[in-house]
Structure 1
């Protein structure tokens, strides 16, 4: 059987680790990388250094997409660059009738959601959005319990997500800190969470209301050691006075936690052209929030109470799903970067009338709670024939998650509830202040 041919748009750290490495090492009999596209030649060099077998693979600049398709004749496109670039490559790939795999978030705005949805409707190709959290064994078991009717009709969900001072701060060192590049963290990060909820309960979100703030980072952050823009951790003179830096370092050495999955390759200068991933978390250019509290309404009447905080002592989440027949509860401490013992994650099932049931789930190896390898198998081998329910996210699911995230931050700005359908209405393209990264 001929191998499926892939081109990759955005040779990012995520592309290297999530896609290129397993494509070469695990799925080499099923797929072949025939082209790479990126704005930065340094990323090609970094990729070839990491994966010598790819040396000689044709490389292309962003304005050479059509040439890449003509010369490499791929079957599919993988989109894994900076978030604001996703829409262009997704739409072009679908217009060529190709399958497209997109990292989350699918895009960063309602206007781009509309472009992608329209392109998907016209295309013979299929868009897949890489929502790996769906595939974690704990999360699939929760989905199964709901499908089995164990909690009845879903009425409300409580989800509180916590990012620790290492992972949370990392977003404010990188390009994510600019809304024009990422859509803000209610889009870049929270789409993971909004997608999980809509997939679990089988209901589409229709409206959101939210509050948000920049509490920890930016120049007014209470732990900012000096109000001075343009600093980088690698060369900063005041970092011994920065609590966020010193939490993970000594005066002579920066310490990278063993379970780190957010540190960029060659974080300091020289790794990439004109971009560093160790910018100061207290810079004035930061224009996104680090704290949200939101309420989301769904089409069949369910309600979500959601919060996320990007600067907490540990990482994890608390979840409760309430229904007409009972309640599901679970709590996970995700990271080993804690100073306290981490309990085993279980699912607690409380029937409306009856005794509590504790459900233990066999863990799977791999990133994102064991979800990454299972997602990759579905992408490169096809859906698991033994799975009795749909799990892969497509264009509609990707759009709903983005629209929820955009509704959240627009509600923060306007102090009004935002209907998701209104975000799909035609509008003039906004100046998005895209950073070169």
Structure 2
């Protein structure tokens, strides 16, 4: 039985990893230590999973003590993005394997530190890019591998995050670049990794435009310019369209497929001091909510990418062009929240010379389009022997996705193209 410690007892850590480790993979793994800045999270964890009532908790400066006392085989990193690199490096220095939530880090500099540590370690890093495991995304990978579209020449990817999900990032720690690297890292690394994986090319340069259009004090729907407000106690909440879009004046309502999985009151009880309901129009917000991006790859492919964090609905539109044809698909992520009917997702394969083929994809249950359960099985049972291509992501994959994300916000600020090798330097 392998022993695991958890650095960052976040809601994500509990739902995505700790629960399955206890309930599904308990014969193979044992959670032996918890580390977090907030002791209240230990209480929540133990209340939720009574099997862990005797598992010790450690403060953020007690990583070494935790490793010495619990003797883990694996370090699971799932706290605030800005803490990931610190614990990954410390684990690798002790020759321990690491499983980390994306993003692996929040800067190219931190990526370089991780790569150096991994080179000198017996341990290795695995990054949990669960988007790769969606049945649609796996099928797209398989079509590219089969050579259906030939050499990939360009990719168009437009991502839409709806008003509920999008605004949630601006209520929480994500709203500060020092915590998250900005949404071009915290969120878009998912998408950059997908493209990198699909086309099997390395990014070399990025140019981007970006803006803060919806949130912050100058947001057009800000009901009152005043810093320090919180949704739970805000006097002008009835005038805030972002809140009232998903609730009523007489009662708090949790939207279907709620990204936060609970209403504000329930969430606030999980923490000692942290408030995940800060006003989305606060002036401390220093990140963007809209991007238009171009990425150049080492074998000639070009990516045209955009993302909007305040769209009327949630989903994406994708096209991959190659020398022999094209792949297209459109996905609506959360139809339970969309107030209109949406088409069923399919994949369209259009050869350069020939007839269009519409491909229906076999579904599987679970979070992130059925991707989470398959990712967990690969993490904790080993790679699926029936799959004949690599899907688990390592430190290199994490680094390239983060370098694109940093290149995006730097390009926005510096108004020039950003070199990916320049950011990663000697790392790869």
TM-score by length of 1: 0.96
Which residue does the alignment assign to 1:166? 164
Is the CA contact 1:264–1:277 (under 8 Å) kept in the aligned structure 2? Answer: no
1:55-110 deviation per Cα after TM superposition (whole angstroms, max 9, x unaligned): 12011011110010011000000000000000010011111111100000000001
Which residue does the alignment assign to 1:323? 322
Is the CA contact 2:157–2:316 (under 8 Å) kept in the aligned structure 1? Answer: yes
1:260 aligns with 2:264: no
Is the CA contact 2:6–2:77 (under 8 Å) kept in the aligned structure 1? Answer: yes
Which residue does the alignment assign to 1:380? 380
- Superposition RMSD in Å: 1.1
* TM superposition shift of 1:278: 0.8
Which residue does the alignment assign to 2:365? 365
Please state whether the residue corresponding to 2:204 is helix, strand or coil: strand
The 1:268–1:143 alpha-carbon spacing in structure 2 relative to 1, beyond 3 Å, is closer
1:151 aligns with 2:162: no
Structure 1 distance, partners of 2:22, 2:58, is 20
1:277-303 deviation per Cα after TM superposition (whole angstroms, max 9, x unaligned): 111100011000000000000110100
Structure 2 distance, partners of 1:360, 1:347, is 7
Q: Which runs of 5+ in 2 are unaligned?
A: none
Please state whether the residue corresponding to 1:261 is helix, strand or coil: coil
1:101 aligns with 2:82: no
Which residue does the alignment assign to 1:349? 349
Which residue does the alignment assign to 1:432? none
The 1:370–1:268 alpha-carbon spacing in structure 2 relative to 1, beyond 3 Å, is closer
Is the CA contact 1:234–1:268 (under 8 Å) kept in the aligned structure 2? Answer: no
Structure 2 distance, partners of 1:261, 1:381, is 28
Is the CA contact 2:161–2:308 (under 8 Å) kept in the aligned structure 1? Answer: yes
TM-score by length of 2: 0.98
1:126-149 deviation per Cα after TM superposition (whole angstroms, max 9, x unaligned): 110000000000000000000000
Please state whether the residue corresponding to 2:31 is helix, strand or coil: strand
Q: Which runs of 5+ in 1 are unaligned?
A: 427-437
1:228 aligns with 2:209: no
1:105-132 deviation per Cα after TM superposition (whole angstroms, max 9, x unaligned): 0000011000001111111111100000
Structure 1 distance, partners of 2:200, 2:268, is 46
Is the CA contact 2:254–2:262 (under 8 Å) kept in the aligned structure 1? Answer: no
What is the aligned counterpart of 1:44 among 34, 42, 45?
A: 42
* TM superposition shift of 1:342: 1.9
* TM superposition shift of 1:258: 2.5
Larger mean CA deviation between 401-410 and 41-50 belongs to: 41-50
Structure 2 distance, partners of 1:369, 1:276, is 29
Is the CA contact 2:92–2:121 (under 8 Å) kept in the aligned structure 1? Answer: yes
The 1:263–1:171 alpha-carbon spacing in structure 2 relative to 1, beyond 3 Å, is farther
